[in-house]
Amino acid sequence: MRGGVGARWLLGALLVSTGALAAGCNSSNGSSGSSGCQAACSRCASELCVDCAATSARLRDDFETAVYACVLQGSDASCDTIWTNCLIQGGGQLTPRPVDTTYRDACLTKRSDCAAMGVNFADDNCLASQILDEAVVAQAMQCLSQACANIASCLSPLFN
């Protein structure tokens, strides 16, 4: 995902992290990976379609499978609505991983420490790891060891 792709995608991730669910997609059948992305994007364009290979490399397989199947089964709603609903529902189906709790807690602590020094970065980057592949979460964790001024630029390519 490049350019302006991250904002909407992260909005969906944030809604997932707060437990909000949308109705309308049943994701029992579907495919993951770049081919799943391409199939879903052929049905309904999205900012996620800018680079299916890069998107696929960052997302959890079970999340991708749920999202792409949902998009393929989507209603007659606008593509933005379909993708948003499917991102939210896909996230709601994920089994929590210990790495996400560890990352979230470390990230929020670092964010608070940085804010006390006058340097801020978005808490979005602390709350959306559950939809990412564990290797990407590990990269994000490494960003937290950097100086506060560098954290936002380190996290940005991972989450946006």
**Are 29 and 84 found together in one domain?**
yes
Domain limit, last residue, from 39, 68, 92: 92
DSSP 3-state of 59: strand
Are 109 and 81 in a shared domain?
Answer: no
The span from the CA of 91 to the CA of 82, in Å, is 14
Per-residue pLDDT tens digits for 108-136: 999 999 999 999 998 888 998 999 999 99
Minimum mean pLDDT among 5-9, 128-132, 141-145: which range?
A: 5-9
Q: How many separate domains does the chain show?
A: 2
Q: Are residues 17 and 85 in the same domain?
A: yes
What pLDDT sits at residue 23? 33
Whole-number percent of the chain with pLDDT over 90: 55
CA dist., res. 150 & res. 152, Å (int):
6
Same domain, 79 and 109: no
Weakest mean pLDDT among 26-35, 99-108, 140-149: 26-35
Q: Which domain holds residue 16?
A: 5-92
Closest to 62 in 3D by CA, of 22, 25, 27, 99:
27
Kindly indicate the confidence band of residue 25, based on its pLDDT and cuts at 50, 70 and 90: very low
Q: Are 110 and 82 part of one and the same domain?
A: no
User: Does 109 lie in the same domain as 88?
Assistant: no
Q: What residues pair up with 132 in beta bridges, in sequence order? A: 59
Q: Does 20 lie in the same domain as 72?
A: yes
Domain check: are 72 and 109 in the same one?
no
Domain ends where: 66, 92, 118? 92
Chain centroid, CA 58 distance in Å: 8
pTM of the model: 0.76
**38 and 109, same domain (yes or no):** no
Residues 33-37: contacts with CB under 8 Å, at least 24 apart: 33/61, 33/64, 36/64, 36/65, 36/68, 36/69, 37/64, 37/68
> Which pLDDT band holds residue 15 (cuts at 50, 70, 90)?
very low
Percent of the chain at pLDDT > 70 equals: 79
| Distances, alpha carbon 89 to alpha carbons 19, 82, 136, in Å | 10, 10, 21
Find, among 122, 129, 124, the residue nearest to 100 by Cα.
129
Could you read off the pLDDT of 36-63 as tens digits, one per residue? 899 999 999 888 888 899 888 999 999 9
Q: Hey, what are 3's tokens? A: 């350019």
Residues 87 and 102 placed together within one structural domain of the fold: no
Residues 88 and 103 in one domain: no
pLDDT at 67 over 80: yes
3-state secondary structure of 132: strand
Q: For residues 12 and 42, state if they share a domain.
A: yes
> With 60 as the cut, is the pLDDT of residue 26 above it?
no
